[in-house]
Amino acid sequence: MEGEEQSPKIIYDIIILGASGFTGKYVVREALKFFDASSSSPLKTLALAGRNPSKLAQALEWAAHPNPPPAIPILTADTTDPPSLRRLCSQARLILNCVGPFRLYGEPVVAACVESGCDYLDICGEPEFMERMEVAYHEKASEKGSLVVSACGFDSVPAELGLMFNSRQWVSPAAPNRVEAYVSLESEKRVVGNMGTYESAVLGVANAGKLQEFRRSRPRRARPVIPGPPPPKGPTIEHQKQIGVWAVKLPSADSIVVRRTLSILTENPRGLPGVNESSEQIAKKEAFWSTVKPAHFGVKISSKSLLGIFRIITVGIFIGVFGKTAFGRWLLLKFPSVFSLGWFRKKGPSEDEVRSASFKMWFVGHGFSDCRLLSEGNMKPDSEIITRVMGPEIGYLTTPIILLQCTLIVLSQRDNLPKGGVFPPGIVFGHTDLQQRLQENGISFDVVLRN
Ligand SMILES: NC(=O)c1ccc[n+]([C@@H]2O[C@H](COP(=O)([O-])OP(=O)(O)OC[C@H]3O[C@@H](n4cnc5c(N)ncnc54)[C@H](OP(=O)(O)O)[C@@H]3O)[C@@H](O)[C@H]2O)c1
């Protein structure tokens, strides 16, 4: 195990770091579906890494069940030990990072990947981490040829691809003005999340002020040109009659990640250059991005009942109020089930609970049937297009599906992706076959209504 980490030669297509975690073991299970040295799969060599080899071996056994665990190397690495991370990076084409909260453990992993020029994907849903990594490592990652993409999970690929899918339904001269996404989590049993996600959310709230300060210290990014006036603020609690839900604003990473992608697209209207694209790939990429129309974007969490919304608001208030002090955070993290009203558990959901859960994400787009009329003073959106992304449980099924499909794209279509840099997933994978791959793996994209 440890001894074999000396060689600087690339040995593994991917190394899954944090494979022993609750999400990590589901990522391993998903990876095993595509791991095949003898077939045409681009995933031929794989290793697991973390700080506890026996937990990693157990995770592998769990993930392979009912088959015997395959002979996959288990490597030791700790985020507090940078040389151990550099050893990993020197052996891998791509690191999949499942160690969170990312604000606590993520930076040394990004630093090691960038230093050694290896690619990096993670399942982070923490805006502050992503924004800080972009500022600190984008330039060096571009130089070194290290592609660093966070949020390759439920946070925030359904939002990124879902917005693009909706916006591409608006055929010129029609254009969207705003798209509101409504997330609905469903289950025949209970919707439950693991501590890792809960802790990341609590720490996000605790540091919300610092994030604002950080943003104020940065130059403003390019803003997309969106036809029509900015949307009105709207009520705190909304009754969305068309899809039959109540909804309240969700302070998730999604809208921030989508805005980063739209800013980068504004700066690079033809998409980002690939490291070694063919002229055919360039033409395909440019044709894709020319059909993506920016829109104001927001995300709401929804429930069929008003009571469900009051539960969500109550949990939001608990985390918002208690998350601000050290003692409050201690209480929140000591009693997750109490303060999240049962939505987060120290032991995470059972396999049955994971299997029974699913999500729907509706994208309600409002816009103009003919943008040319805007110059005549017709400022009110007159058209509506509703689209929907649906899939299995968000954290432990959808997230690994997305992460693995992004991985397979990096392994098989590297020429078509940027040489290096720190980017949100939409701008890196939007023009690839990611949506089609997700559809083939149980995540659907539909047009529901055109008005
Ligand atoms: N994008 C999404 O939609 C999405 C979905 C699910 C999860 N997530 C995120 O994924 C992260 C993990 O969540 P989780 O519920 O899986 O958490 P978890 O069960 O606590 O797993 C954390 C993992 O990190 C490892 N780890 C912790 N400290 C480490 C260190 N110093 N060096 C190396 N490894 C270390 C742990 O190793 P040990 O086993 O040795 O403790 C474990 O493997 C969270 O940030 C969560 O928000 C995002």
CB of 127 sitting under 6 A from ligand 1:
no
Q: Which residues are paired to 302 by β-bridges?
A: 247
Helices first, then strands: H and E counts in the chain: 17, 16
Percent of the chain topping pLDDT 70: 98
* Ligand 1 nearest-atom number relative to CA 24: 16
Q: What is the mean pLDDT of residues 317-344?
A: 91
Cα separations in angstroms, 74 against 50, 108, 130: 8, 20, 28
* Model confidence pLDDT, tens digit, residues 204-256: 888 888 888 999 998 888 899 999 989 888 889 999 999 999 999 988 899 99
The mean of the pLDDT values for the chain is 93
* Ligand 1 nearest-atom number relative to CA 78: 32
| Atom 6 of ligand 1, residue of closest alpha carbon | 395
* Model confidence pLDDT, tens digit, residues 77-89: 999 999 999 999 9
User: In terms of DSSP H, where are the helices of 217-291?
Assistant: 254-267, 279-290
Cα separations in angstroms, 360 against 183, 190, 192, 328, 397: 6, 16, 16, 33, 14
CB of 23 sitting under 6 A from ligand 1:
yes
* Ligand 1 nearest-atom number relative to CA 99: 24
| Atom 41 of ligand 1, residue of closest alpha carbon | 21
Q: What is the mean pLDDT of residues 290-313?
A: 94
Cα(25) to centroid(ligand 1), Å: 10
* Ligand 1 nearest-atom number relative to CA 122: 1
For residue 276, the model assigns a pLDDT of 95
Cα separations in angstroms, 113 against 5, 13, 18: 16, 14, 15
Residue 2, pLDDT above cutoff 50: no
Q: Which residue has the higher pLDDT, 149 or 189?
A: 149
As given in the structure block, the two tokens for residue 287 are 């044709």
Cα separations in angstroms, 338 against 106, 335, 345, 346: 28, 6, 9, 11
User: What would the DSSP string read from start to end of 277-329?
Assistant: --HHHHHHHHHHHHT----EEEEEEEESSHHHHHHHHHHHHHHHHHTTSHHHH
42-51, 289-298, 329-338: segment of lowest average pLDDT: 329-338
pLDDT band at 399 (very low <50, low <70, confident <90, very high): very high
* Model confidence pLDDT, tens digit, residues 122-132: 999 999 999 99
For residue 8, the model assigns a pLDDT of 56
Cα(165) to centroid(ligand 1), Å: 30
Q: What is the mean pLDDT of residues 406-423?
A: 98
For residue 375, the model assigns a pLDDT of 76
Other Cβ atoms within 10 Å of 187 Cβ, number: 16
Q: b/e string for 218-254 if b means 16 or more Cβ within 10 A?
A: eeeeeebebbbeebeeeeeebebeebebbbbbbbbbb
Q: Which residue has the higher pLDDT, 316 or 158?
A: 158
Cα(131) to centroid(ligand 1), Å: 20
Asked if 416 contacts 274 with a C-beta cutoff of 8 angstroms, the reply is yes
**Is the peptide bond prior to 82 cis by the omega test (within 30 degrees of 0)?**
no
Residue 300, pLDDT above cutoff 90: yes
Backbone torsions φ then ψ of 208, nearest 5 degrees? -60, -40
Other Cβ atoms within 10 Å of 67 Cβ, number: 9
For residue 5, the model assigns a pLDDT of 47
User: What would the DSSP string read from start to end of 160-180?
Assistant: HHHHHHHHTT--TT-EEEEEE
Cα(241) to centroid(ligand 1), Å: 38
> Across 71-141, where does the E strand assignment appear?
74-76, 92-97, 119-122
101-110, 309-318, 416-425: segment of lowest average pLDDT: 309-318
Q: What type of residue sits at position 30? A: E
CB of 363 sitting under 6 A from ligand 1:
no
Percent of the chain topping pLDDT 90: 81
Residue with tokens 């690839």: 432
Residue 423, pLDDT above cutoff 70: yes
Residue 1, pLDDT above cutoff 50: no
For residue 193, the model assigns a pLDDT of 85
For residue 10, the model assigns a pLDDT of 83
CA distance 356 to 391: 11
For residue 3, the model assigns a pLDDT of 43
pTM of this structure: 0.95
The architecture of the domain spanning 2-149 is 3-Layer(aba) Sandwich (3.40)
Q: What is the mean pLDDT of residues 359-366?
A: 97
3-17, 169-183, 238-252, 364-378: segment of lowest average pLDDT: 3-17
Asked if 21 contacts 196 with a C-beta cutoff of 8 angstroms, the reply is yes
As given in the structure block, the two tokens for residue 169 are 């339904």
